[in-house]
Each structure stands twice: as structure tokens, then as C-alpha cells.
Amino acid sequence: MSILVIAEHDNEEIKASTNNVVTAATNLEGDIHVLVAGSNCSGAKDQAAKISGVAKVLVADSPEYEHCLAENIADLIVAISADYSHILSPATTNGKNYMPRVSALLDVAQISDITAIESSDTFERPIYAGNCIATVQNSDSKKVITVRTTAFDAAQNDGSAEVVDLQESHNLGISEFIKEEIAESDRPELTSADVIISGGRGMQNGDNFKILESVADKLGAAIGASRAAVDSGFVPNDYQVGQTGKIVAPNLYIAVGISGAIQHLAGMKDSKVIVAINKDEDAPIFQVADYGLVADLFTAVPELDAKL
Amino acid sequence: MKILVPIKRVVDYNVKVRPKADESGVDLNNVKMAINPFCEIAVEEAVRLKEGGTATEIIAVTVGSSASQEQLRTALALGADRAILVETDIEVEPLAIAKLLKGVVEKESPDLVILGKQAIDGDNNQTSQMLAALTGYAQATFASELKIEGEKALVTREVDGGLQTISVNLPCIVSTDLRLNEPRYASLPNIMKAKQKPLDVIEAGSLGVDIEPRNKTLKVSPPPVREAGIIVETVDDLVDKLKNEAKVIT
Ligand SMILES: Cc1cc2nc3c(=O)[nH]c(=O)nc-3n(C[C@H](O)[C@H](O)[C@H](O)COP(=O)(O)OP(=O)(O)OC[C@H]3O[C@@H](n4cnc5c(N)ncnc54)[C@H](O)[C@@H]3O)c2cc1C
Ligand SMILES: Cc1cc2nc3c(=O)[nH]c(=O)nc-3n(C[C@H](O)[C@H](O)[C@H](O)COP(=O)(O)OP(=O)(O)OC[C@H]3O[C@@H](n4cnc5c(N)ncnc54)[C@H](O)[C@@H]3O)c2cc1C
């Protein structure tokens, strides 16, 4: 049997998280097929065909898939699921939205947010905000899995897969896209950035994030935030790093004015190098930081900026 | 409009749990239990819809052991009208919980079901979507704003890139994100009143669904520990370490 990977894309481009999931899929036995479901998605289709290790790209190009509404995508995936032993998606907000729907329709359990594959039926996944790692064995005939993308390297883009057009129409008509407010940014995406600088409640207001932006420009970094900074309205929700925000693992994570609550650590403690700047020497963030600087951020960050 | 709010009893979010020494599970001896924070947000949203005149009745439901009555009482103190415990002593997986909840949905015919987006113990983020699949209802997950407009719900969702707004037909399933609202604290008089509100107990078995687990937890181990780091004295030291020791900047 083959393995089906559901692509994350914006119709024009494939997101790097798809490449991470393809790498995860190479730990399983079988050809890897990638499903690109979208509308006017030939850009994404062409890129998917180049992902190394992919044998076949299935394309469902139709208006009802444009905004990845869970009801329609889930029905489509179920309709083509017969030949697959494993169905994998990245644990993005899209994947988290449609995959449990797919598994319930197939009457199988879902294994969420896996970080390692031990065998075709046994997986590791973090629970309790990453304070425990559970090894889970699943007995269903089909495995429906979401993948924590930071746990797997991205597959290269030097392949050339066969492309097959699907004639599948699934429009349940019970949900409708109205609008979206997607932040436009020249910075790298949080989940695939090499360097991240994040601000917390210690930043005091949204304006002060400018001092982080300047450092981010020099380091080619993405900007993140704690929940407190998002809840206080300093920055938008898509900046949130943590158990209930984005999970990141860059080479360098700089936490500024963040105390280091378990829920925040859950989202960044797999970073390669962690730097913490905090004026409270007892802040828990220092327990996970490789380099801690006990200082007022309003002097330390501009100084850091000047020295880069 | 009738609203059903499934809630879960979980370890309090301030508790840092550890695996048992023999790695057979999570050490939950004597830890503080609470209502899952996302479920609290779900109850609050339902109460606001009732206070605003949109909802007429709020039913809190949980699947679990009799100890979960404590969290149902919390939901009643926050403003739910009555509660249902679907009692079972086995640890039930999201698919089975969704099947049991579907049974409750069939009995109660709510117009709206509001769940938490994830429980902070299992961190599965599955139950609401599965319930939507099984009932055939539309789903609006990770909601940060909810408006009822006639036969539809207009929901703003927190997605990776920002915010998405969708319109879904009622009845529908909504799951809450953190910024949907800030839950109130239950007042003492309301806690007292909650003790008098109806709480029905039904046996999970009576709903006639298959709740056999499909996943077996082979072991629960601690995450890899990070080596303790160092405190640098100055920004110069920091830059030097990052360049020459960690080699993460140039
Ligand atoms: C269900 C649930 C889910 C959650 N999910 C998340 C999540 O996904 N992500 C997340 O981040 N949080 C999450 N939280 C919230 C989490 O528990 C903390 O409340 C939050 O992370 C705190 O943010 P903070 O560190 O910015 O703020 P605080 O804890 O208030 O810390 C601010 C820090 O800034 C320092 N500081 C202040 N001024 C200065 C200065 N001038 N110079 C230097 N340092 C300064 C202080 O010493 C302090 O350590 C969640 C909570 C719950 C209940
Ligand atoms: C270490 C460990 C081992 C486990 N092993 C097993 C095992 O071997 N077999 C097994 O079957 N289970 C096991 N479980 C339990 C299981 O993983 C989850 O706790 C359970 O499946 C529910 O998942 P969740 O709470 O993460 O669901 P989520 O989908 O994250 O919950 C989302 C929302 O669904 C609703 N909800 C969730 N649970 C309930 C409920 N009980 N009643 C009402 N509403 C609810 C709430 O509104 C909640 O906010 C284990 C748990 C742990 C921590």
C-alpha cells in the first residue's frame, strides 16, 4: 500500500511543512503520494512534483477547495483513501482542522502531532505541553497522523513525480468562506525560520517591538511572541509561540521579556540555541537558556542591535 | 437556542507533570485537577450568548469518572443550567468521546455545540472535529469570535497566517481558541446555587457505541533534557558566544 501526504499550500506555493511531512513518510514503507487540493493551484502542483521522494502528485483543482474548508477537504480525502495505509498531514491549523474529521469518517483514531516514527504502527508524541513523551501503538487498519514539522528535516526539491488530475467534487455546502486577514511580511515564516526573536509582556507595548524588528532585520529572523504579548494586543495572534500557538525549533531563539511558562517552553524548547534576556534572574526561562543575560531589555536589546 | 458544552477534567495548567519512574504512564498522584482552560472559555461563551438573549438553555456534559462531577459543578456555577455525566472509568480516546457525545447530541438536539480546541493533557485537538464528522455538522474550529446570525454562525478562526472568517450552517460545532473571551470567576452565591442544579448521570454503556481504545500507550518517558546553560555578564559576551562558541550568527 502507499502513503498519502496532504500538501500544505496557498495555491501558488507549497509550504515547507509539506517537505517535512514527506521526510516523515520516508520512514514508512510504500510509495509516497502527495495530494494538492486547491483552486487554480497549478503553482503548488508543479512544486509538489519536485519534492524528492514523491512518486505521484494527485491534484484536485476546483473552487470548493480554495480555502481548505474542512468539510469538503475531508470528504475528498476519504473518497481517495482506499489505497493508502497511512495518511499524513502537517500539524498546521489546516491539518489540525480537517484530519480529525477524516479519521472519524473512516472510523479510525488519529495520532496527533507525532515527533518520531518507530515502526508502521508505533509513534512518539508529546503530551502535557511536552513534559512527557508518549509512545503510542495504533491498532487501526489505516493510520491517520498529523506530524510535528520541527521534528523532521525538510525533503529536498530535486524530484520529478508523475502528476494525476482527480475528477473529484465534494462540496457539502454547509460552510462558506467569508474573508481572511493574513499578515503580509517579508520576514521568514515562524515555523521554518533559522532565527527567531520573541517578545513577551516585558515589551510593555506593541510599539516597543520595533527594537526587536531592527535586530530581526540584521539576523534575517522571524518575530514571535508569548501569549501574554498577544493577549495584551502588542502583536497579532499568528506570532504566538507555545503549546497552543506555533511550535518552533530554529537554530537560534532569542526570548526577550518572557518569563518562560511551561506553555511557552512547550513551543520553543527544541530550539538549537536559546538566548534569554530578562531582568529577573529567577525567571524560569534561564533554566532552558544556553545563554542568559540578566538585564533590562530596553538597554540590552538596542546594545545588541548596535553590536551585530 | 440550546447549547451543549462538552468539558473535560484535566490536571491544572500550573502543574508540571512527570512520567512515572517505570515509564508506564503519567504520575498523577495527588495533583490538582481543574476544568480544561479551553472548556472554561466554551462555557463562558455559551453563558454570554444566553445573557445576550440568543441562547435559552446551556447543558454541560462530560465523559469520565464520577470525580468529573466536580468540573460539571464548576460549569454550573459559571452559568450552565444543567449537566450530564456520561460515566466511565476507562480512559476514553477522542473518537470514542465523540461517539458518546454524538449520542448526547441525538438526545438533546442542541443548535450549537461549543468545545475546547484542545485538552491540555492529551493535547490531541481532535474531539470537536470528530463530533462534527459523526453528526455531519459543519465545524468552526479555533474560534476567536462567534456571532449567531439567523440560521448561521459567523466565526472568526485563528489560523497559522492570521485570521479567517467563515459562515457555517446551524446546528454546528465550534471549538474555542484562547482569545474568544476571558472567563469570569464563579461567585460564591453561584457556587452555592450550582449545587441545586440538575446533574444527570448516564452510563457510557447505555449509549451503545464502541469505545474500545485503538491506541495503546507503550510507555511515557521524559523529554530530552537540555544541558544547563550559562549566564553572560554583558552584551559583548553574548555576541562573542553566539559568534564563536555556538556559531549561530556571523
Ligand atoms: C491553556 C493555556 C495555554 C497557554 N498557551 C500559551 C502559549 O501557547 N504560549 C505562551 O507563550 N503562553 C501560553 N499560555 C500562557 C502562559 O501560561 C504565560 O502566562 C505566558 O507565557 C506569559 O507570557 P510572558 O512570559 O510574556 O509574561 P510574564 O510571565 O508576565 O513575563 C514577563 C517577563 O518579562 C520580564 N521583564 C519585564 N520587564 C522587563 C524589562 N524591562 N527587561 C527585561 N525583562 C523584563 C519579567 O521579569 C518577566 O519574566 C497559556 C496558558 C494557558 C492557561
Ligand atoms: C499518558 C496518557 C496515556 C493515555 N493512554 C490512553 C490509552 O491507552 N487509551 C485511551 O483510550 N486513552 C488514553 N489516554 C487518554 C487520551 O489520550 C486523551 O486524554 C483522551 O483521548 C482525550 O483527548 P484530549 O483530551 O486530548 O482531546 P481533545 O480533542 O484535545 O479535546 C478537545 C475538547 O474536547 C472535549 N472533550 C475532551 N474530552 C472530553 C470528555 N472526556 N468529556 C467531554 N468533553 C471532552 C472538550 O471540550 C475538550 O476541550 C491517555 C492519556 C494520557 C495523558
Q: Tell me what pLDDT residue A185 has.
A: 83
What residues of A are in contact with residue B125 (Cβ under 8 Å)?
Answer: 96, 100, 112-113
Tell me the percentage of chain A whose pLDDT exceeds 70: 100
- What is the distance in angstroms between the CA of the first residue and the CA of the last residue of chain A? 52
Judge whether residue A257 has pLDDT over 90.
yes
Grid coordinates belonging to B54: 440568543
Bridge partner residues of A57 (DSSP): A34, A163
CB-CB neighbors (< 8 A) of B127 in chain A: 100
Ligand 2 centroid to residue A236 C-alpha, Å: 30
Backbone angles phi, psi at B207, to 5 degrees: -85, -5
* Residue range A173-202, pLDDT digits in tens: 999 999 999 888 889 989 889 999 999 999
Residue A47 has pLDDT above 90, yes or no: yes
Query: Which mutation among A204, A227, A246 tests ligand 1's pocket best, with the greatest number of atoms within 8 A of CB?
Result: A227
Q: How far is B44 from chain A (nearest CA, A)?
A: 17
| Measured distance CA(B1)–CA(B89) in Å, rounded | 32
Q: Which residue does chain B place closest to A246, by CA atoms?
A: B160
pLDDT at A13: 96
Mean pLDDT across the stretch A114-120? 98
Residue entry with cell 490531541: B124
Residues 6-65 of A with CB under 8 A from B: none
Q: What is the pLDDT along chain B (250 residues), one digit of tens a residue?
A: 999 999 999 999 999 899 999 999 999 989 999 999 999 999 999 999 999 999 999 999 999 999 999 999 999 999 999 999 999 999 899 999 999 999 999 999 999 999 999 999 888 999 999 999 999 999 999 999 999 999 999 999 999 989 999 999 999 999 999 999 999 999 999 999 999 999 999 999 999 999 999 999 999 999 988 887 999 999 999 999 999 999 999 8
**CA B65 remoteness from chain centre:** 17
Q: Which three cell numbers stand for residue A57?
A: 502528485
Identify the band that residue A162 occupies on the pLDDT scale cut at 50, 70 and 90: very high
Contacts of A109 in chain B (CB under 8 A): 93-95, 213-215
A200 lines ligand 1 (CB under 6 A): yes
Average pLDDT over residues A2-12: 97
Beta carbons within 8 Å of B240's beta carbon, 6+ residues apart: none
Name B166's Cβ contacts closer than 8 Å, sequence gap at least 6: A67, A69, A175, A176, A177, A178, B140, B154, B155, B157
Strand order in the sheet with A116-119: A116-119, A122-127, A132-138, B215-221
**pLDDT-derived band of residue A150, with 50, 70 and 90 as boundaries?**
very high
pTM of the model: 0.91
ipTM > 0.95 for the complex: no
Q: List CB contacts of B57: < 8 A, sequence separation 6 or more.
A: B2, B3, B50, B81, B82
Instruction: Compute the distance between CA of residue B89 and CA of residue B83 in angstroms, rounded to an integer.
Output: 18
User: Span A43-64, mean pLDDT?
Assistant: 98
Query: Residue range A109-123: average pLDDT?
Result: 97
Q: Does residue A220 carry a pLDDT above 90? A: yes
